[in-house]
Amino acid sequence: MIFRPARFLAAAALFAPLLAFGQKNGCIDCHSQLDGDLKAPVAAFEADIHREFGLSCRDCHGGNPDTDDIALAKDKSFKGAPAKAKIPLFCGGCHADPAAMRTYNPALRTDQLSQYETSRHGKLLKAGDTKVAVCTDCHGVHGILSARMPKSTTFPWNIPQTCGRCHADKGLMEGYRIPTDQLDEYMASVHAKALFEKKDLSAPVCNDCHGNHGAFPPAVSSVASVCRQCHAAAGELFGKSLHKKAFDDMGVGECDACHGNHKILPPSTAMIGTADGAVCIQCHDEGSRGFKMAADLRRTLDGFTSGYSEVEGLLSLARRKGVEVGDAEFSLQDVHTTLVSAENLTHGLDEAEIAKTVAEGEKALLGVRTAALGAVKEGRFRRQGLAVTTAILALFAVALALKVRRMGRTRRDEAGPGVPGPPSS
Amino acid sequence: MKRRSAIDLFLGGSLIATVAAFLYPVVRYLLPPKRPIISQDTVVAAKTGELAPNSAKVFRFGTAPGILVNTPDGKLVALSAVCTHLTCTVRFEAETETLYCPCHNGRFDLGGNVLSGPPPRPLETFAVAVSGPDIVVSRRR
Amino acid sequence: MAQGVGRTIWEFLDERFLITELLGFAKKKTVPEHGRSFWYFFGGICLFLTGLQVATGGLLLLYYTPQVDAAHESIQFIMGGVKFGWLIRSVHSWTANILIAMLFVHMFSTFFLKAYRKPRELTWVTGFLLLVLFMAFGFSGYLLPWNELSYFATRVGTDIAGSLPLIGPWLKTVILGGPEVGQATLSRFYWFHVALLPVVALAIVAIHVLLVQTLGMSKPIGERGKREIPFFPDFIYKDALGWTLILVLVGVLCVFLPWEVGTKADPLASTPIGIKPEWYFTFMFSTLKIIPAHILSLEGEKLAILGFMVGGLLWLLVPFLDRRAGRGQRSPLFTWVGLALAAYIVVMTVLTYTVPKL
């Protein structure tokens, strides 16, 4: 047999990755034969993001995976499982080290640990409370996924459950004197609806207001800034309104005073006014100027809204009668935008501005109403036209029937062909 | 004899009425309609010179609004003005040269790409052509 | 004076069109009257509905645009922007469907009365061809509004043609004018619907009517009554009565249920579930769906298509196959075959609409 170096090299190059893959890992070999908690990390680690970057057991836990001997494997460098209080520093060993992180993902931030230390969780941990959340409580242990993966515990639509796992647990929260209904309240909110029904990933979840690594209950003064991230127009109007100073003086949060916090429901004009369920009467007593203005505002908006729903009703009536109303519906969409902006203007409390917008909307609505009435009239016209035509056709049918009967009788009488000519001149 | 001619008269009369009842809608149908046929894939969005540089105009495109922007260097771009978040109408912000949705603070560049805010997708962009005095916007194929 | 001018014009026309002779023929023509002469009216109704189709179809051409990006909009415009456009289009769509239903009734009544027997074989053959042509009218016209349902129904329908052995893929490409349903398909279907089919169909209608006129109505086998009524004007008046009633029905349908425009076709959208062809194709469509995938190592679907083609051919040739009827004898075998076929069509059509996951 002749030794062919070229072939040998090619074969070696081909099988080298296989060899590397099959390289033995003492940790995994051993742990995969154990039971329960000692075996679980092996399976979970399969999907872990750290594994994708080529990291293995020893990179976190130390030790020597090259040996089968347990005693030898747990050498000087072996760290084992860290105590819970030590976990932030354990993860931070790499994640707070820009030099280390640059090797794997230079774009990843490295301030999680320092943020954590400023968070309520971090402060309590420092004070010796080990019941608080550490890295692994939110991210998992072995089997950590990137927050961009839909199955990750830190993906937007999993976050409410991730936080709720502890914060909705009455027993766990007992010592902290904080409520446990935030999850239920959030799940009833307009934001949860956007997230779970429309799959709108931009809808806020817990961390969008509270922060994540630096999680902290937002202060009264900062709530409004959080909301303004998306609700800028309402925020701007509010900032210019009389309420701004009044709320600041009273030390009341801006948006949450009327809209609440976790259970933010879709807004409606029912929130304005002096009836039950209106938020204005929380502060404004009967007889005050604010009370009167609340009632006025409500009346103005109700007038517009009822006019709007009337036209909507007319259009649906016409549609049910089979009349094509696509154009009118398009125009109504415009009016709807005006209606929404009038409702939004209530944040600014500028009565003149609101009245102006409502007047504009009502003027546009008038045009749509004319079109809608026309469409309904068209529907009625079609039915009347049908009635008239049917009547004419019925007459014609009766005339034909009479003629047929008459001719039959004539034939029998004459018993001959005396065929009458066509209706002649 | 008399009875027969009465029936004939009845028959002839109702026949004429029937024919008239059919001719009326046909004649009305044949008369040119008040507004012309609108094609929904091409629209005259504006007249040339109507837009100053660094300004914009919202126009109707089919059943939805579009926005035509004249950039500071005089380039015309047209996009759908329907925000991809919750279908509000976006507006042009001259200071930043971006499109801004007032409903939830969404912001797009003039290529339609999302710059910030909740919109999940870019805005659809349209083709713009100048034809004589008209600025014609059409859907891209 | 006026009378003199009228007479001159009459004589001018008479000499050239042989009107007197034609009138003479019409005067002599009679229609048998008996217990089953009711079925004679369906032919007249079909002819009348065909006339309505031509009239309303022609009017629709005024505003319809056969372009992928404008077809749906133009139909919407007809329904909303043109005075009485909704009526013209609804009449066209509704009468098209009623016409197909009436053609089936007319065909089966003719079949059961054995009116196809000698010498009316060609009347039957042209009649059956007309049914096929009108179904082709329906198939091609269905796509023209370019809405979601019609778009996908056309895709499914042409896929079936594409699954034919040997010529299938080629045939599908020819029908579609390309590999996919697109502008080429719309142009083709439009040409087919408003140019080719009308010419062919009207020519065959003319032959069919001419045959009916010259050969007269067939009297059912064993009918002994001798009573007859003049075709003109008695039978015409009765016909007109039927047409009037049909018109009332069409009017009510159009006002209360104007034909829908639907949502515009989006080639990129996923096929909506439960997509069906027009109702008159469903008996064949459902057969293809429920037939086992393999019958004796042959592909079930191809076998079914082949079966329909052979069946159609045999049905076309019925007058030549039914020798007993040709001799004026009763032919119960054919009656039973016809009943079985009618029952099959009715049951399969009903099943399509009542069993959702057929």
C15-34 pLDDT, tens digit each: 888 888 888 888 888 888 88
Task: Tell me if chain B has a CB within 8 Å of the CB of A196.
Answer: no
> What pLDDT does residue A200 have?
83
> What pLDDT does residue A220 have?
66
H/E run at residue B58: strand B55-61
For residue A201, what pLDDT band results from cuts at 50, 70 and 90?
confident
**C262/C79 Cα distance (integer angstroms):** 12
Quick one: what percent of chain A has pLDDT higher than 90? 41
Show the tokens assigned to A116. Answer: 């954590």
What's the longest Cα–Cα distance across chain A?
Answer: 131
Angle between helices A220-228 and A232-240 (to 10 degrees): 130
Give the highest mean pLDDT range of A1-5, A21-25, A214-218, C312-316: C312-316
Mean pLDDT of C110-117: 93
Residues 6+ away with beta carbon under 8 Å from A288: none
Q: Are C124 and C319 in contact (CB under 8 A)?
A: yes
**A389/B22 Cα distance (integer angstroms):** 9
Q: Are B44 and B136 in contact (CB under 8 A)?
A: yes
Q: Are C100 and C201 in contact (CB under 8 A)?
A: no
Whether residue C233 has a cis bond before it, omega within 30° of 0: yes
Q: How many CB pairs under 8 A join A and B?
A: 68
A291-345 pLDDT, tens digit each: 999 999 999 999 999 999 999 999 999 988 888 887 788 788 888 888 888 888 9
- Render each residue's pLDDT in chain B as its tens digit; 141 residues: 466 688 889 999 999 999 999 899 999 999 888 765 555 677 888 888 888 999 999 888 876 789 999 998 889 999 999 988 888 889 899 999 999 987 788 899 999 999 988 888 899 999 999 888 889 898 876
* Closest alpha carbon within chain A to C247: A393
For residue A418, what pLDDT band results from cuts at 50, 70 and 90?
very low
Answer yes or no: do C80 and A322 touch at CB < 8 A: no
C282-307 pLDDT, tens digit each: 999 889 888 888 887 778 888 888 89
C181-229 pLDDT, tens digit each: 999 999 999 999 999 999 999 999 999 999 998 898 888 888 887 888 8
How many domains, chain C? 1
* Closest alpha carbon within chain A to B38: A327
Q: Which residue has the tokens 């010592």?
A: A175
> What pLDDT does residue A217 have?
79
Ordered by start, the domain boundaries in chain A are 218-265, 289-381
Closest CA to B137 of B35, B40, B37: B40
> What pLDDT does residue A19 have?
45
H/E run at residue A99: helix A98-104
Q: What is the mean pLDDT of chain A?
A: 85
List chain C residues with CB under 8 Å of A371: none
Which amino acid appears at position C49 of this protein?
Answer: L
H/E run at residue C241: helix C236-256
Q: Are A413 and A355 in contact (CB under 8 A)?
A: no
Residues 6+ away with beta carbon under 8 Å from A172: A131, A166
Residue of C237, C255, C256 lying closest to A403 (CB–CB):
C237
Answer yes or no: do A325 and C80 touch at CB < 8 A: yes
Task: Tell me if chain B has a CB within 8 Å of the CB of C85.
Answer: yes
Residues 6+ away with beta carbon under 8 Å from C298: none
**A189/A181 Cα distance (integer angstroms):** 12
List chain A residues with CB under 8 Å of B89: 337
Closest-CA distance, B40 to chain C, in angstroms, reads 7
Please determine, for residue A10, whether its predicted confidence score (pLDDT) is greater than 70: no
* DSSP notation for A4-47: -HHHHHHHHHHHHHHHHHT---HHHHHHTTS-GGGTHHHHHHTT
Q: What is the domain range of residue C161?
A: 26-267
Please determine, for residue A420, whether its predicted confidence score (pLDDT) is greater than 90: no
Residue of C59, C65, C83 lying closest to B31 (CB–CB):
C83
Q: Does residue C215 sit within a domain?
A: yes
**A32/C95 Cα distance (integer angstroms):** 75
Please determine, for residue C82, whether its predicted confidence score (pLDDT) is greater than 80: yes
> What pLDDT does residue A363 have?
92
Show the tokens assigned to B41. Answer: 């894939």
**A285/A257 Cα distance (integer angstroms):** 16
Q: What is the mean pLDDT of chain C?
A: 90
Sign of CA dihedral A226, A229, A230, A234: positive
Q: Please compute, for residue C241, the number of CA atoms within 13 A of its CA located in the half-sphere on the CB side.
A: 17
Secondary structure class of B16 (helix, strand, coil): helix
ipTM over 0.85: no
A78-107 pLDDT, tens digit each: 888 889 999 999 999 999 999 989 988 888
Which residues are A177's β-sheet partners? none
Angle between helices C121-143 and C300-316 (to 10 degrees): 140
Q: Does residue C120 sit within a domain?
A: yes
Please determine, for residue A24, whether its predicted confidence score (pLDDT) is greater than 70: no
List chain B residues with CB under 8 Å of C83: 25, 28-29, 31, 33
> What pLDDT does residue A385 have?
93
The enclosing domain of C198 has a CATH number of 1.20.810.10
Please determine, for residue A18, whether its predicted confidence score (pLDDT) is greater than 50: no
Residues 6+ away with beta carbon under 8 Å from C199: none
Which residues are B136's β-sheet partners? B44, B129
Q: Which residue has the tokens 């742990």?
A: A31
For residue A20, what pLDDT band results from cuts at 50, 70 and 90?
very low
Secondary structure class of A199 (helix, strand, coil): coil
